[in-house]
Amino acid sequence: MIFLGPPGAGKGTQAQILEREHGVHAISTGDLLRRNRAEGTALGRAAEGYMDRGELVPDALILAMMEPVVRAAPAGVLLDGFPRTVAQAEALDALLAQCERRAVAILFEIDLGLLEARLVGRWTNPRTGRVYHDVFAPPRVAGIDDDDGGPLIQREDDEPETIRKRLRVYREATAPLVTYYDRAGRLQRLDATANVESVTHTIEGLVGPESNAA
């Protein structure tokens, strides 16, 4: 299962809820890349410039990172933030076909004009990736994670100029995936402007036990 949608649409929030409440195995490429940066790996060093500029990390690097991860992932895995280009989607399809699996996409539909407010108010636990919002999903104590009591941070790419760049990149490179999955009859849409609980409810309705998701 793939969560598709612009930055700030709520994909990570919902992935974390599905993990917590339904034991779904979720993989976020953004979190994997940030972990590589924090650990100073070769991949992290290669990716950091692109991430700080709000650009996509090149397909070759992402695919080298994701191929072993996807191969090792259990059935029903949720991919958050991957694929983000048609080339990545084609590579994922080829990989899944080898193990007789297939991906279905859930599109988080939202007016791009609403996203800046979501992203500038986002606070993240850098240790776990859990996200909050200072108005829409506040922690019990401002700046402190509810679970581990440690500090929350604001992502450096969540500042207005980089947000605008990321939204442009989404429109140009990632939005074509909507057609890619829709034409293949593998796209479901949800209203991502609704509140967190309603979006969760919608996803629970879409991802029934009869789902054929990878």
The residues of the shown chain that bind ligand AMP, judged by CB under 6 A, are 7, 29-30, 33, 50-51, 54-57, 62, 81-84, 88, 157, 166
* Min separation Cβ 64 and ligand ADP, Å: 23
Catalytic annotation, pick one of 34, 118, 130, 166:
166
**Residue 10 binding ligand ADP, by CB under 6 A:** yes
* Min separation Cβ 126 and ligand AMP, Å: 12
Which residues between 15 and 74 bind ligand ADP (CB under 6 A)? none
Q: Which of 133, 162, 180, 207 binds ligand ADP (CB under 6 A)?
A: 133
3-state secondary structure the chain: CEEECCCCCCHHHHHHHHHHHHCCCEEEHHHHHHHHHHHCCHHHHHHHHHHHHCCCCCHHHHHHHHHHHHHHCCCCCEEECCCCCHHHHHHHHHHHHHCCCCCCEEEEECCHHHHHHHHHCEEECCCCCCEEECCCECCCECCECCCCCCECECCCCCCHHHHHHHHHHHHHHHCHHHHHHHHCCCEEEEECCCCHHHHHHHHHHHCCCCCCCC
Q: Which of 96, 137, 178, 206 binds ligand ADP (CB under 6 A)?
A: 137
* Min separation Cβ 199 and ligand ADP, Å: 5
The residue whose two tokens read 């979720």 is 26
137 binds, among ligand AMP, ligand ADP, none (CB under 5 to 8 A by kind): ligand ADP
Q: Which of 67, 147, 159, 195 binds ligand ADP (CB under 6 A)?
A: 195
Tokens of 129: 């990736």
Catalytic annotation, pick one of 155, 164, 165, 189:
155
Catalytic annotation, pick one of 34, 84, 101, 118:
84
129 binds, among ligand ADP, ligand AMP, none (CB under 5 to 8 A by kind): none
**Residue 8 binding ligand ADP, by CB under 6 A:** yes
130 binds, among ligand AMP, ligand ADP, none (CB under 5 to 8 A by kind): none
Longest dimension (CA), the chain: 47
Number of CB atoms found within 10 A of residue 139's CB: 17
